[in-house]
Structure formats: C-alpha cells, structure tokens
Structure 1
C-alpha cells in the first residue's frame, strides 16, 4: 500500500503513525470505526469502542463492566448464567427466582441439570426412582399409585392382578366377575364374543353372556307376550306350574285385570280372574 493510499476509508485522514482498525481489509481511524461499527451496550446504551471488550449473547452486546446479573449485579463474565424475560441472571438468582423444586427432596433443580416431569411435578433425575427397587426410572415405562411410582417389573411383582382370560397382567382398569379380574377387552360374551364391559349381561354356570345370547339360549319365555324373562333391574315375574309371566303380563285373559297377588282360575292355558272364570273347574 502506498503512502497516498494509506488513509482512513471513511474520512480519508492519513493513518501514518496513527492507530487504526482493519475492517474487511479496509483501514479506518479509531474514531470512524467506533462511530460506524461499534455495537451499543444493552445496559448503559453507550457504544462499545474498539478498545473495549465486546461481550455478546444472542445478538445483544455489553461492555465487560456492564455484563452483570440483573438481580444481584454480580459480574457474569466467565460465569454460568441464564436468561429470563430478556434479563440475564446468575445461577443462584435464577434458581431462587425461576427454578422449580424437586417433588422428592424439595431442593432446587439447578439450571442446566436434567429434570424429570410427571403429572405436573418435577424431580431431579436421581430422585425420580422406583418406590420399590429405588432404581432411577428415567424415560422407562412406569405405573403410578398413591404410594408412589413403580417400574413395570416391580409393580407386577407387588400389585398386579392377572386376567382370568388371557393370564396377562392388568396394569390399569379392568373389571371383576365372580371375584376374578379381567381386562375390559377380555370380558366377552361366552357365546358371540361381544365385549361386555359397557353392556348389561347375564351369568349362566359362572359364564357371562350378552342379553341377546342369554335370551336365545337360556331365558324362559313369558306365557302371555312370549318375550324373554331375564329378571334384570329387579323385574318381577310369576311362575305357575311349568309356565312363567312378566308381572305386568299376568292378567286375566278376558278383562285384562292384573292377577298379581290375587286368586285366579285356569282353563287349559288361559288364566282368569274369579269373576270372569266363575264356573271353571280349576280354582287357584
């Protein structure tokens, strides 16, 4: 570079014998460089001149002397820190203000340390352990009870019931039939294999049946309406000899008055009140 060429790129002042700064291979006097290229400090809003250290974080800049905790004002230079709502905080202030507490040991979970979250609570990784074997659960499958969290093997050993149908562990939910546990998806009609967990059902010889199958296979038929008699929900029915009636169907064959709790007369397969059946031979 010739003497004539060795001038400030911006103000063209000679730089011979003076301090200068190179920017993109172009020389600038210190004054022009600071005015054109300096970043402004987030704290004091003054330019960070070329002779000062420029500390940057996520596109923001500070003088070294201004790079302090927003709460306790201690220097953050070469120290761990965290950002909260655009503020920089030292580890201690961040922990006191922002960090959550471990659900097990109640101590602060420090920034940068691994934490586990479950059902809205937080644990240190080393505190999130199986209640039985005390081994860290981490991201492995777990089962939660009021007494604590359990890894699957420990839960199965300590608490699990086994389905009467498939013989596999019932980890949640399930139903009980004749004092035996079942998966909901395994509790099926013994005839048509329909799921019964949300359905009304009947039992026959310790086997469950949906109403349709039970009525088809086993239910007695009402002598009056011929529909099945199930006795569900406390429904009453009348039996006489080898015949049955719904209580609401047990009526006089002539005048239709109810015969429930009343004397009645029969002729062949008909039943009559005393008034309508007077003169008949059979009197009940």
Structure 2
C-alpha cells in the first residue's frame, strides 16, 4: 500500500513537472520539442489545440480558418484567402480596394454599377472616392459640371440655371441678363415690364411717393408710373357730382359733357336722380335734368 501511494505521488509530481515545462502545450501539455506550435499571449499551443480553441470561422464557407491558412479580417469578420471575393462578380478582393454594403463585399466596379450615382451630363458612373457635384437633385462629375457658355468648371461658385443649361454668373450676365431701367443692375430672376422696359420688383416705384408698385394697381402719365393715390391727386379729373377722382380703372365708364366729367353711376338727374346714362337730358345752369324735370325750362341741350 505504501508503495502504491508513493507511486501515485511520484506520478502526480511527474505530471506537475510536465505541465510546467515551458516547451509543452499550454492546453494538452503535450511536449512540443521538434514539433510545430503556435505562440499566443506568450503561451505555446500545439497546432491541434490552437485550431480547436482559437481559430475563426470563414464568413463565406463557414469552415474553420486553421493556423496554417491565412486569416483575412475586416470589422471582426474573417475569411480564408481564397474565399475573400466580391459577392457579385466573384473576383478576388485580396490586396484590392473593396466596399462593404449590407454585409456584402463588393469590388469598386460592382459597387459603382450597383450603388453609385450616374453623371447627369456624360451618364457614366461617378466612382466612389471621386468628387461629385449635386444640383437640383442631379449629380455630375466635377469636370462635367461646367458653364454651358465658357465650358469652365463651375465648382461651388454661384450659378444661374436656364432650360438650356447652367451658367456661371459672368456668362449669364453677358448672354442673357436684362438690366433694370432704374438701378441699371442685372436682373437675374423675375422683374416688372412697363413700356417695353424692365425693372427689379423693388425698383418699380411710384414716381410721386416712391411706393413699390409690383403688387399694386397703378396708372401712368407721360410714361411714368403712379400709384392710384398720387395719380388721382395729381392728374385725375374730378366727378362733377361727387367730386371724387375719375380713374377709369377696371373698365369703369364715365361721361364727358363740355368741360365736365361724371362717373357713370353719378350721371343722374339733378332733381329726381334718375340715371341719364344713354338717355337724353337737358341742362339748367350747372345742373343736368331728365326731359321730364327739364320740361318748360330754358336749356342749352
């Protein structure tokens, strides 16, 4: 019995000595002298133990990537060297540029064909990494986004767009722009036309009070625009009945007789107030009378 206990103690001591040997596998304790091994975190592992414990699995074939194979890694994903391919054209991506999209790897050509914008001018793909210009929801190569007139790249400089294309400001002003009749500066958009001349909206003002007229009704006198108040005050005839200005706006009719004018609704008999529009009438001093009220009265008409 004593011998057996001593033998077991000797075996345990032998096992402890064996496990603590610097040339044994850290996991299975197999001696590594003269054999292949893998060093990880300053510990030695036989190839079998290392592959079983530490190897990664390939995203493509789902097989382990053993220690004698190259492990290609991207964002915690791993591939065998032969499995690292474009998911669309199947060409190898080893030492080539690629793009990851929706957990797929694509070569730059496949990515461009599938995902990249097309140039509005030349219709070719705008390759990833190249500079592209965006305007009104469309995209251009930087070298394709040029002024329609001078053909120079516009880049981020101000531009003006027309149906015929995009123009840099100097070319647009030279080729198309109108100049305000008031301030003499270029009118790029909008404007007000009057007497075959054009104004900026903010420059089209009443010649009397300088009020903006672009959203207002106005009258003209000697080719000058006036707001209704100024025109009425300065030039409009006064109704002989109500003394208010007669402008003739909106097709309003008025009556003229000798040196006097009336609004059509004001041209009434001075006694009975019946309308005299389209009717015969008589006059008595400054009054106008219907035939009935004017009967037996000396008249001028």
Does TM-score exceed 0.5, indicating one fold?
A: yes
Conservation of the 8 A alpha-carbon contact between 1:266 and 1:283: yes
> SS of 2:232's equivalent?
helix
Q: Does 2:218 match 1:191? A: no
Q: Return the alpha-carbon distance in structure 1 between the equivalents of residues 176 and 184 of structure 2.
A: 15
Q: Which has the higher helix share?
A: 2
Deviation at 1:266, TM superposition (A): 2.2
CA contact 1:223–1:243 (8 Å) conserved in 2: yes
Q: 1:201 to 1:86 in 2, by over 3 A?
A: farther
Please, which moves more after superposition, 223-232 or 43-52? 43-52
Q: Secondary structure at the match of 1:233?
A: helix
Query: Residues 44-59 of structure 1 correspond to what in structure 2 (within 5 A)?
Result: 44-59=61-76
Q: In the alignment, which residue of structure 2 is the partner of 1:4? A: 20
TM-score, length basis structure 1:
0.85
Instruction: Give the distance between the partners of 1:228 and 1:59, measured in 2 at CA.
Output: 87
> Larger C-alpha radius of gyration, 1 or 2?
2
Is the CA contact 1:21–1:33 (under 8 Å) kept in the aligned structure 2?
no
Residue 164 in 1 paired to residue 181 in 2? yes
Question: Which stretches in structure 1 are left out of the alignment for 5+ residues?
Answer: none
RMSD: 2.7
User: 1:225/1:112 Cα in 2 relative to 1: closer, same or farther (>3 Å)?
Assistant: same
Query: Equivalents in 1 of 2:168, 2:197: separation in Å?
Result: 25
Q: Separation in 2 of the partners of 1:50 and 1:197?
A: 82
Could you report, residue by residue, the CA deviation over 1:166-211 in whole angstroms, capped at 9, with x for unpaired residues?
Answer: 1111111111111111111111122222221111111122221222
Structure 2, unpaired ranges of 5+: 1-16
Q: Which moved more, 1:26-35 or 1:133-142?
A: 26-35
Does 2:137 match 1:130? no
Residue 27 of structure 1, CA deviation? 2.6
TM-score, length of structure 2 as denominator length: 0.81
| Alpha-carbon contact 2:25-2:32 (below 8 Å) kept | no
Q: 1:19 aligns to what?
A: 37
Is 1:282 aligned to residue 282 of structure 2?
no
Residue of structure 2 equivalent to 1:258? 275
Q: Deviations over 1:133-183 (max 9, x none)?
A: 111111111111222211111111111111111111111111111111111
Change (3 A) 1:56 1:169: farther
The CA deviation at 1:28 is 6.1
Question: Aligned pair count?
Answer: 280
Q: Match of 2:265, SS?
A: helix
